[in-house]
Amino acid sequence: MIRAFILILVLIATPLAAETRVPQSAAEISLGFAPLVKKAAPAVVNIYAKQIVQVRSRSPLMNDPFFQEFFQGFGQPRPQVQNSLGSGVVLSADGLMVTNYHVVADATEIRAVLNDRREFDARVLLADEESDLAILQLDGASEMPFIPLRDSESVEVGELVLAIGNPFGVGQTVTSGIVSGLARSGTASGSSRGYFIQTDAPINPGNSGGALIDVNGALIGINTRILTRSGGSNGIGFAIPSALVQRFVEQARAGQSRFQRPWAGMNGQPVDTDIAESLGLETPRGLVISDIHAVSPFLAAGFRPGDVIEAVGGQPVNTPDEMVFRMTVAGLGNTVSVTRVRNGVAEQVEVALIPAPNSPPRDVVVTGHRSAIPEMELWTINPAVLAELGLPLSIEGAVIGDPGPAGTRAGLKRGDVLRAINGVAVSTSRDAERALETAGRNLTLDIQRGTQRVVMRFRL
């Protein structure tokens, strides 16, 4: 009888103990994730963002196949408020928070709501569309619950994870799964590019910017995208690694308003079977350098076209996105060890991690009223401009930073490179400015737009 009474006490006490701390073993995890959720969930917030957009009135004839072409741009644009919903993660006691760029892009008002119903205004400190990350500050916040960062480089496939967010606006929700893949690049839809952690923990609309945590309650990623055909979660979700989030936090703390990445100053392509065979490699791996800029840090370290890059910082790389990610998490101002293969021989080479040089100066010029195209902003091309606009390394000319009203009507776009004006080559913003002021009544522009050459002719 006494033994039975003791057994009952043990059965009752065990669940109570599991509720008061984070699971520390597989046996304890089987009891549930409740202690882990209680620890992490208070630091995951709901984000409500407002933005003002200009919309045009729609004519009933817009739906008619014949008339819709004639009613493009119909009506005066009028402001309209749009609301977006997402999630965010508090990273420090003073209210520093991370979310996705697309959650707060162009927002005029941002409110963060905690699961205890406290609300804070938030302002963007640092945002980057390419990485789809934004660092925010909660105004007036102190002694906030937060989730510590774990180095995502230590994450392994098969680890148990929880995704916490606000899917479909139904309120804070927790889903569980495992890390199902690493080093995923170019697979998520949307604006984000680069390198992701893949998980089968269900991620749905509204989860964007939420937390992906491990069984110790540490942040390993920021949920960002799903791979789907139906619009719902199919068990393939992607999170931005915490190693990249850490670099954003550092730059935001340092007062940067724009995220800076190390500049490679080169182009490369993945090594396939044919390339591996031609280079004498046993198996296809790494990427081969196809082009390199005159002031590239890789050129300064002795790299040249035809070299193969197999690893950066001891981690294998097989795509340009992976290489840029590895350089970024290594950190600006540092050096990183790069595995180079030349003539079948592998060696370690130290490469300096520097931002794209803003030299020579971009020398911003805005054309005046005497110009053939007034109010157009022109830049002289330098490595910083190449990186900012994604231009080819070998491009020459003056680039359009802002086409202005007249340039937009003429069909010009930001990032167009003016290579020649009326048959005269231009190489700086000042060259282009002078050529446009003396163009006369006939204007011919030789333009590079992406990989295409375009010739535009105008009668002024």
Which of 84, 87, 102, 431 is the catalytic position? 102
Q: Please return the burial class of 193, using the count of CB atoms within 10 Å of its CB with bins 0-12, 13-18 and 19+.
A: middle
Beta-sheet pairing, 211-213 with 335-342 = unpaired
Mark whether 154 is an active-site residue. no
Which of 128, 132, 200, 431 is the catalytic position? 132
Contact residues for 6 (Cβ-Cβ < 8 A; gap 6+): none
Which of 84, 131, 180, 208 is the catalytic position? 208
Mark whether 369 is an active-site residue. no
Q: Encode 244-279: b = buried (16+ Cβ within 10 Å), e = exposed.
A: bbbbbbebbeeeeeebbbbbbbbbbeebeeebbeeb
Mark whether 132 is an active-site residue. yes
As annotated, the active-site residues are: 102, 132, 208
